[in-house]
């Protein structure tokens, strides 16, 4: 039983009060088919909205099965509607992007049914309203009459005892109207049906009660057919929508409107790209800043780790084997001083300098791989602004400070971020020869003759000097023959003394006997054997280069665990002051937060525009008994789906770029240091943005009443 007692309703608009209903008294029962007529503006809709709990009233009392409702909260009304009432509107209020089947399914999912359990019931209902052929047609493609049949089927799906229809035929031609009213009548057994209509003639034969309204009052209330008044309104059991259904709807909504989907895809893609770029920019700054310089080391490649053994022992072959097996090591340079050796090449017109390139090279960009000992490769940036590579190729050069001549036979372009200087690749024999010349410069050599220390002497090799002997210039050492010469060689790793006998002296004229060219009088010539004994130690110090800056610390730890001392070039080069670094870090955090906030507002702004047309969808959900929480949940699932889908595609795309299947250098660059954990963090940020947007938009949905939302959409 549904009863109104002296119910009045006023509308307040722009400070003016308008009368909706005044002092309406009415009692309706199960099994009735109530027809309401009246002029436009006479209060019919107001009456229906109050009866169906879509609107509240000011005065009087409404009773549901005898229970007062004046104290009802919004939630109470929601429960009342879910348990008792379904509505049919003049404008159908279907979900246009859903098929007939899905529209009916929606009502069932909202009442807690599982998708798998409702198929037969839905098909049965579709059959009942004669839409078999259209079950998979989108609602937007249907005629008005067909739409209203779907609306009726949806009411039946909810199986509520009360069906309230406000001008269900108002937008239909007379044939369609007739059949809708007929269907409505056919399904109305044991229900309370309340219909507002102008088709008085067609409907009169079904009516059990006729009500006429005027100016907010009931002016006629005529019972045509007495019915049994004992029947209580039987509330339908309504469970809450299941998680699965909420997910299903969110998923469906994400994709079922193509234009919306594409726009959302673009927004989420933009957010994804911006976040990953921003993230990667920080990582690059963290890893690749190469501003550092050092007075000791020329090769300040920040992937370099200098190693030595804990008790200053020599490296053994086993040591090297062990080190090479560390996973993230790119390459190993045993003779560490080659790393910091700067090579100068002169020709008649050109002067080139650079460090040595100490990795193996198997292909070049121009020219060819060296075949002879004195053939070298030049490594430089492809777009050098001061070198024409064709010009330096196949030319002869002298290695500064030596009488070695080389030819550049190949050019290798290296545009990697770390390549901030030109480099030369030398065949192994040539490297060894240079090393031999350089060795004395890497330790402190002091020479004593007759127990007197003599400075500024240089030691070089002559093939003609026998082992155990030395040749000195007769300019300084004319009478020193057969005297003993002591050579002390010392650095942090060792301190050794060698004794040689002065065999003879040389001068500018007779130096040919030593098979060398005259340079100056400060040179001591000794045999290669002695030279090697004095200078050529095995290695006390080597360098490893890691594949990637991000593994630098790990490799260092591993080396330490194996018992080596490590020295990171990165930590031992001079760079920006600590203060600026700290400031930079704080700035980074601020920039990220500002960026995320900006993204949020841009995204929210765009999404609000895109979702404006979605207000009626959520009004429909509400009219089917969905609470605010459920609406927000469904919207959230939709956002999550879109975010995940877009981000997933973006990740696949980045993967293809990394595998060089897609060639886009921008994306290759930005992903260089981004790791799995970073991708997960960005994904979480994306989900957070989706959540915030859903919550914000969710508040908007519920600002207006269902009826008002529908009216605004019209």
Residue 237 contacts residue 84 (beta carbons within 8 Å): no
Residue 45: CB minimum distance to ligand ADP, A: 3
Q: Give which of 76, 75, 73, 77 is closest to 51, Cα–Cα.
A: 77
Strand 495-506, strand 469-473: pairing: parallel
The smaller minimum CB distance to ligand ADP, of residues 17 and 296, is found at: 17
Selection from ligand ADP, Mg ion, none that 370 binds (CB < 5 to 8 A by kind) is none
* Distance separating alpha carbons of residues 295 and 301, to the nearest angstrom: 14
* Distance separating alpha carbons of residues 60 and 649, to the nearest angstrom: 59
Residue 576 contacts residue 588 (beta carbons within 8 Å): no
The smaller minimum CB distance to Mg ion, of residues 45 and 99, is found at: 45
Give 346's strand partners: 351, 398
Residue 686: CB minimum distance to Mg ion, A: 45
* Distance separating alpha carbons of residues 585 and 612, to the nearest angstrom: 40
SS3 62: strand
Please, what's the largest Cα pairwise distance for the chain? 148
Residue 86: CB minimum distance to Mg ion, A: 18
* Distance separating alpha carbons of residues 168 and 148, to the nearest angstrom: 7
| Whole-Å CA distances, 17 to 12, 129, 305, 699 | 5, 42, 83, 28
The smaller minimum CB distance to Mg ion, of residues 45 and 160, is found at: 45
The smaller minimum CB distance to ligand ADP, of residues 170 and 468, is found at: 170
Contact map string, positions 582 to 601, toward ligand ADP, x by CB under 6 A:
--------------------
> What SS3 string covers 472-509?
EEHHHHCCCCCCEEEEEEECCCCEEEEEEEEEEEECCC
Q: How big is the site for ligand ADP, counted in residues (CB under 6 A)?
A: 12
- 46 near ligand ADP (CB under 6 A): yes
- 44 near ligand ADP (CB under 6 A): yes
String of DSSP letters for 611-665: HGGGHHHHHHHHHTT--HHHHHHHHHHHHHHHHHHHHHHHHHHHHHHHTTSS--H
* Distance separating alpha carbons of residues 649 and 236, to the nearest angstrom: 44
The smaller minimum CB distance to ligand ADP, of residues 46 and 91, is found at: 46
The smaller minimum CB distance to Mg ion, of residues 167 and 301, is found at: 167
How many other C-beta atoms lie within 10 A of the C-beta of residue 97? 19
Residue 252 contacts residue 636 (beta carbons within 8 Å): no
Residue 196 contacts residue 48 (beta carbons within 8 Å): yes
Give the CA-trace dihedral at 379, 381, 387, 393, to 10 degrees.
Answer: 30
Residue 41: CB minimum distance to ligand ADP, A: 4
Selection from Mg ion, ligand ADP, none that 42 binds (CB < 5 to 8 A by kind) is ligand ADP
Strand 33-38, strand 209-214: pairing: parallel
Selection from ligand ADP, Mg ion, none that 18 binds (CB < 5 to 8 A by kind) is ligand ADP
* Distance separating alpha carbons of residues 6 and 187, to the nearest angstrom: 31
Residue 62: CB minimum distance to Mg ion, A: 19
- 168 near ligand ADP (CB under 6 A): no
- 40 near ligand ADP (CB under 6 A): yes
Residue 700 contacts residue 712 (beta carbons within 8 Å): no
- Which residues, numbered 30-49, are part of the site for Mg ion (CB under 5 A)? 45
The smaller minimum CB distance to ligand ADP, of residues 216 and 410, is found at: 216
- 52 near ligand ADP (CB under 6 A): no
Interface with ligand ADP by CB under 6 A: which range of 37-45, 71-79, 507-515, 622-630? Answer: 37-45
In this chain, which residue has its C-beta nearest to Mg ion? 45
- 60 near ligand ADP (CB under 6 A): no
* Distance separating alpha carbons of residues 571 and 593, to the nearest angstrom: 29
Give 306's strand partners: 543, 567
Selection from ligand ADP, Mg ion, none that 41 binds (CB < 5 to 8 A by kind) is ligand ADP
Selection from ligand ADP, Mg ion, none that 38 binds (CB < 5 to 8 A by kind) is ligand ADP
Interface with ligand ADP by CB under 6 A: which range of 43-51, 510-518, 591-599, 600-608? Answer: 43-51
The smaller minimum CB distance to ligand ADP, of residues 54 and 485, is found at: 54
Residue 115 contacts residue 101 (beta carbons within 8 Å): no
- 20 near ligand ADP (CB under 6 A): yes
Selection from ligand ADP, Mg ion, none that 46 binds (CB < 5 to 8 A by kind) is ligand ADP
- Which residues, numbered 374-413, are part of the site for ligand ADP (CB under 6 A)? none
The smaller minimum CB distance to ligand ADP, of residues 218 and 305, is found at: 218
| Whole-Å CA distances, 178 to 146, 203, 370, 693 | 13, 8, 95, 46
- 370 near ligand ADP (CB under 6 A): no
Give the number of residues written for the chain.
714
- 38 near ligand ADP (CB under 6 A): yes
The smaller minimum CB distance to ligand ADP, of residues 41 and 292, is found at: 41
* Distance separating alpha carbons of residues 577 and 584, to the nearest angstrom: 11
Residue 221 contacts residue 24 (beta carbons within 8 Å): no
User: Which one of 6, 18, 65, 417 is in contact with ligand ADP (CB under 6 A)?
Assistant: 18
The smaller minimum CB distance to ligand ADP, of residues 45 and 505, is found at: 45
- Which residues, numbered 468-497, are part of the site for ligand ADP (CB under 6 A)? none
User: Which one of 28, 30, 37, 42 is in contact with ligand ADP (CB under 6 A)?
Assistant: 42
* Cα 46 versus chain centre, distance: 51
* Distance separating alpha carbons of residues 323 and 317, to the nearest angstrom: 10
Selection from ligand ADP, Mg ion, none that 475 binds (CB < 5 to 8 A by kind) is none
* Distance separating alpha carbons of residues 619 and 94, to the nearest angstrom: 10
Strand 375-380, strand 366-367: pairing: unpaired
Residue 667 contacts residue 657 (beta carbons within 8 Å): yes
Residue 254: CB minimum distance to Mg ion, A: 35
Residue 212: CB minimum distance to ligand ADP, A: 11
Helix (H) or strand (E) holding 191: none
DSSP 679: H
The smaller minimum CB distance to ligand ADP, of residues 35 and 412, is found at: 35
- 45 near ligand ADP (CB under 6 A): yes
Residue 629: CB minimum distance to ligand ADP, A: 26
* Distance separating alpha carbons of residues 324 and 306, to the nearest angstrom: 14
The smaller minimum CB distance to Mg ion, of residues 91 and 308, is found at: 91
Q: How big is the site for Mg ion, counted in residues (CB under 5 A)?
A: 1
The smaller minimum CB distance to ligand ADP, of residues 211 and 511, is found at: 211
Residue 70: CB minimum distance to ligand ADP, A: 20
The smaller minimum CB distance to Mg ion, of residues 324 and 711, is found at: 711
Interface with ligand ADP by CB under 6 A: which range of 10-18, 307-315, 503-511, 553-561? Answer: 10-18
Backbone angles phi, psi at 302, to 5 degrees: -75, 5
Residue 689: CB minimum distance to ligand ADP, A: 36
* Distance separating alpha carbons of residues 558 and 572, to the nearest angstrom: 19
Residue 43: CB minimum distance to ligand ADP, A: 4
The smaller minimum CB distance to ligand ADP, of residues 45 and 111, is found at: 45
Contact positions vs Mg ion (CB under 5 A)? 45
Contact positions vs ligand ADP (CB under 6 A)? 11, 13, 18, 20, 38, 40-46
């Amino acid at each position: 039983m549904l009863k109104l007692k002296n119910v009045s309703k006023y509308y307040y608009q722009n400070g003016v009060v308008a009368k909706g209903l005044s002092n309406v008294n009415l009692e309706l029962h199960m099994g009735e088919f109530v027809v309401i007529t009246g002029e436009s503006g006479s209060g019919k809709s107001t009456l229906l909205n109050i009866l169906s709990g879509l609107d509240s009233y000011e005065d009087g009392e409404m009773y549901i099965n005898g229970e007062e409702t004046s104290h009802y909260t919004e939630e109470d009304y929601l429960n009342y509607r879910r348990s008792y009432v379904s509505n049919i509107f003049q404008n159908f209020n279907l979900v246009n992007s859903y098929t007939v089947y899905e529209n009916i399914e929606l009502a069932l999912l909202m009442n807690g049914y599982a998708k798998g359990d409702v198929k037969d019931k839905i098909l049965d209902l579709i059959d009942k309203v004669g839409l078999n052929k259209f079950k998979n047609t989108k609602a937007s493609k249907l005629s008005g009459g067909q739409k209203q049949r779907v609306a009726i089927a949806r009411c039946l799906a909810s199986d509520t005892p009360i069906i309230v229809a406000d001008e269900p035929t108002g937008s239909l031609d007379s044939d369609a109207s007739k059949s809708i009213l007929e269907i409505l009548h056919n399904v109305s057994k044991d229900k309370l049906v309340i219909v507002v209509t102008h088709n008085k003639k067609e409907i009169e034969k079904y009516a059990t009660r006729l009500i006429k309204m005027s100016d907010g009052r009931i002016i006629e209330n005529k019972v045509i057919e007495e019915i049994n008044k004992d029947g209580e309104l039987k509330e339908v059991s309504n469970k809450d929508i299941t998680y699965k259904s909420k997910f299903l709807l969110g998923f469906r909504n994400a994709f079922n409107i193509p234009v919306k989907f594409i726009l959302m895809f673009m927004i989420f893609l933009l957010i994804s790209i911006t976040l990953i770029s921003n993230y990667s920019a920080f990582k690059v700054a963290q890893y690749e800043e190469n501003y550092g310089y050092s007075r000791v080391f020329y090769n300040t490649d920040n992937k370099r780790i200098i190693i030595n053994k804990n008790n200053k022992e020599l490296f053994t072959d086993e040591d090297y084997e062990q080190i090479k097996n560390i996973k993230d090591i790119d390459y190993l340079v045993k003779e560490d001083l080659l790393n910091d050796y700067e090579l100068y090449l002169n020709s008649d017109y050109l002067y080139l300098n650079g460090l040595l390139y100490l990795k193996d090279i198997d292909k070049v960009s121009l020219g060819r791989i060296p075949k002879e000992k004195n053939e070298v490769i030049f490594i430089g940036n492809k777009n050098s602004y001061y070198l024409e590579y064709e010009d330096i190729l196949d030319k002869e050069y002298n290695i500064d400070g030596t009488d070695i001549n080389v030819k550049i036979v190949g050019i290798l372009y290296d545009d990697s971020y770390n390549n901030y200087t030109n480099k030369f690749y030398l065949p192994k024999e040539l490297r060894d020869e240079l090393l031999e010349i350089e060795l004395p410069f890497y330790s402190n050599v002091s020479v004593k003759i007759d127990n007197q220390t003599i400075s500024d002497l240089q030691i070089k090799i002559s093939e003609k000097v026998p082992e155990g002997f030395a040749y000195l210039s007769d300019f300084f050492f004319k009478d020193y023959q057969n005297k003993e010469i002591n050579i002390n060689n010392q650095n942090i790793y060792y301190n050794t003394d060698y004794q040689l006998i002065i065999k003879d002296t040389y001068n500018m004229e007779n130096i040919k006997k030593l098979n060398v060219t005259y340079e100056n009088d400060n040179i001591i010539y000794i045999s290669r054997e002695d030279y090697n004994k004095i200078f050529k130690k095995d290695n006390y110090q080597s360098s490893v280069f890691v594949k990637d800056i991000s593994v630098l610390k790990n490799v260092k730890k591993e080396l330490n665990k194996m018992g080596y001392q490590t020295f990171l070039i990165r930590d031992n080069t001079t760079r920006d002051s600590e203060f600026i670094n700290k400031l930079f870090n704080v700035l980074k955090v601020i920039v990220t937060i500002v960026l995320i906030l900006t993204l949020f507002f841009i995204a929210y702004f765009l999404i609000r525009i895109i979702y404006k047309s979605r207000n009626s969808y959520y009004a429909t959900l509400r009219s089917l008994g969905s609470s605010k929480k459920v609406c927000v949940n469904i919207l959230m699932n939709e956002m999550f789906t879109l975010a995940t889908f877009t981000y997933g595609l973006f990740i696949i795309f980045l993967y293809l770029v990394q595998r060089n299947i897609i060639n886009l250098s921008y994306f290759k660059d930005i992903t260089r240091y981004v790791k799995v954990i970073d991708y997960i963090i960005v994904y979480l940020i994306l989900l957070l943005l989706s959540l915030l947007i859903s919550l914000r938009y969710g508040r908007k949905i519920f600002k207006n009443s269902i009826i008002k939302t529908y009216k605004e959409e019209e």
